[in-house]
């Protein structure tokens, strides 16, 4: 296993092509736009060597028997699923943001399930290829970016019906030694500071879309791959100082990119689906359910920090004991723990798959994420309510530090005499950072839009059995079916 420093050193050996605001990022570890995201991901490595968190962070590989970082693990029990959620909450408490590594974690477990089924029913050998790939990932403790979301183009049309066929990743050539893929993956969390990407299909596919049924592993710096780094709320503040950034060490969310695949060659040993369109929907659902499980872990860890910052702001404002403040903080706690309950529940209700790893309860996992699309907004609203409007109108950090102007800011933004104006500033900026813009949009659309969860809830709920329960109690007998 790598520690945080070794992870950063491993990134320096890669040469990905990264475009950002009209320039090229040549060093993701130290560039101010990507450094906070690297720091956050590094926490997933560093904590594996902390004795306090060893039970959460380290497991024995089911493939080699060696100790590995949990982020490269194939779940072997419901306890593994539960510990995953606990681990995510713990790391988020320490970073206050996305640490990016869970997307690949979920993609690998979903791929393990689907490749086993495809091999069983189609006579392919994808599963053994993937096992070999997993051993490589585990042995080298790699960070893998799960790559599912395509740009999608016209949402009313399937991939094969698009005017531009490249709006979904697809196979453009099959060769004796591998395949060539073209297209792009959007909103790619942690991509620029990953070692590999695991490409997955993004939607249900038909026979006309078989070239879009592709799963494969590609190094982030493979020939033909380029990354376009996305903007985040207040990201330019990273170039200007410490206080205004809010969370200067770890930034906001996951450093998402648009990753373009310009005729990228993939050798056969790294191809895990090639035209088996019938299994695309199952692939999507398996990944999505694993990923939606996460939100009651990582987002609750983020919520823990928001709640702590909000309670601190109440203290800094001089009103920690006001009854309405206490009631609102209690409501924030209730909302956070409700999200956590759902993720723990979907883990406890998990089951062993035919492939041998464990899978969450799909209905409850989707419930966990649907809750998150609402509760993080409400937690943020309550934080704004308690903290006060000044978190949105504070002067610049440079003015706070100015010898002349700073005196006025210190004087007129003072509140609790036991708390410095600078500390009040810092806590306000942290709240501003964590409760607006990019962070909230990710809570809504990360792991799929709310409508995607609603579709899954209806699909996974047996309405006919619920109707039968009601009819039995109401003593309503089913009318016999009339024969034609």
Q: Looking at the annotation, which residues are catalytic?
A: 98, 102, 189, 256, 291, 295, 298, 442
Q: Which residues are paired to 24 by β-bridges?
A: 19
What is the full DSSP assignment across 108-131? HHHHHHHHHHHHHHH---HHHHHH
Q: Are strands 351-352 and 225-229 parallel, antiparallel or unpaired?
A: unpaired
Q: Which residues contact 401 (CB under 8 A, 6 or more apart)?
A: none
- State how far the Cα of 269 lies from the Cα of 134, in Å rounded to an integer: 12
CB 40 within 8 A of CB 251: yes
- State how far the Cα of 373 lies from the Cα of 389, in Å rounded to an integer: 24
CB 38 within 8 A of CB 28: yes
Q: Which residues are paired to 146 by β-bridges?
A: 198
Distance of CA 333 to the CA centre of its chain: 22
Consecutive H or E run containing 216: strand 214-219
Distance of CA 153 to the CA centre of its chain: 23
User: Which residues of 121-200 form beta strands (DSSP E)?
Assistant: 144-147, 170-175, 178-188, 196-199
Q: Which residues contact 482 (CB under 8 A, 6 or more apart)?
A: none
Q: Which residues contact 232 (CB under 8 A, 6 or more apart)?
A: 251, 252, 253, 255, 437, 438
CB 230 within 8 A of CB 33: no
CB 412: neighbour CB atoms within 10 A?
9
Closest to 147 measured CA to CA, from 226, 195, 201, 183 = 201
Q: Token pair of 48, please?
A: 């594996």
CB 4 within 8 A of CB 42: yes
- State how far the Cα of 315 lies from the Cα of 309, in Å rounded to an integer: 10
CA distances from 138 to 29, 106, 250, 388 (A): 22, 14, 25, 47
- State how far the Cα of 159 lies from the Cα of 157, in Å rounded to an integer: 7
Consecutive H or E run containing 186: strand 178-188
């Amino acid at each position: 296993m790598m520690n945080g420093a070794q992870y950063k050193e491993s990134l320096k050996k890669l040469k990905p092509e990264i475009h950002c605001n009209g320039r090229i990022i040549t060093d993701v570890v130290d560039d101010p736009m990507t450094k906070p995201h690297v720091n956050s991901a590094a926490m997933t490595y560093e904590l594996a060597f902390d004795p306090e968190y060893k039970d959460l962070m380290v497991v024995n590989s089911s493939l080699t028997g060696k100790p590995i970082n949990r982020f490269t693990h194939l779940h072997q029990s419901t306890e593994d699923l539960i510990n995953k959620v606990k681990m995510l909450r713990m790391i988020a408490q320490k970073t206050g943001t996305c640490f990016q590594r869970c997307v690949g974690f979920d993609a690998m477990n979903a791929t393990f399930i689907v490749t086993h089924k495809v091999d069983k029913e189609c006579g392919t050998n994808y599963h053994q290829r993937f096992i070999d790939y997993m051993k490589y990932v585990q042995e080298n403790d790699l960070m893998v970016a799960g790559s599912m979301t395509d740009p999608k183009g016209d949402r009313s049309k399937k991939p094969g019906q698009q005017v531009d066929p490249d709006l979904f990743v697809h196979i453009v050539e099959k060769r004796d030694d591998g395949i060539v893929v073209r297209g792009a993956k959007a909103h790619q969390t942690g991509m620029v500071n990953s070692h590999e990407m695991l490409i997955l299909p993004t939607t249900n596919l038909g026979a006309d879309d078989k070239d879009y049924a592709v799963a494969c592993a590609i190094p982030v710096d493979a020939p033909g791959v380029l990354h376009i780094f996305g903007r985040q709320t207040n990201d330019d503040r990273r170039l200007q100082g410490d206080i205004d950034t809010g969370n200067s060490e770890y930034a906001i969310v996951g450093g998402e990119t648009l990753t373009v695949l310009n005729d990228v060659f993939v050798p056969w040993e790294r191809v895990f689906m090639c035209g088996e369109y019938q299994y695309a929907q199952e692939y999507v659902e398996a990944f999505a359910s694993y990923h939606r499980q996460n939100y009651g872990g990582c987002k609750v860890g983020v919520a823990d920090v928001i709640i702590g910052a909000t309670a601190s702001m109440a203290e800094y404002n001089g009103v920690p004991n006001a009854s309405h403040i206490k009631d609102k903080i209690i409501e924030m706690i209730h909302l956070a723990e409700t999200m956590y309950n759902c993720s723990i529940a979907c883990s406890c209700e998990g089951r062993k798959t035919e492939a041998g790893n464990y899978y969450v309860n799909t209905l409850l996992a989707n419930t966990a994420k649907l809750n998150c699309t609402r509760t993080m907004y409400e937690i943020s609203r309550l934080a704004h309510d308690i903290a006060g409007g000044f978190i949105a109108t504070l002067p610049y950090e440079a003015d706070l530090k100015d010898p002349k102007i700073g005196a006025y800011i210190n004087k007129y933004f003072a509140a609790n005499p036991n708390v410095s104006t600078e500390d009040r500033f810092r806590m306000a900026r942290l709240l501003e950072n964590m409760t607006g813009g990019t962070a909230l949009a990710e809570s809504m659309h990360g792991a799929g839009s709310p409508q995607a969860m609603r579709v899954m809830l209806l699909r996974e709920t047996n309405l006919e059995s619920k109707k039968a329960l009601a009819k039995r109690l109401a003593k309503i007998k089913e009318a016999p079916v009339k024969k034609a």
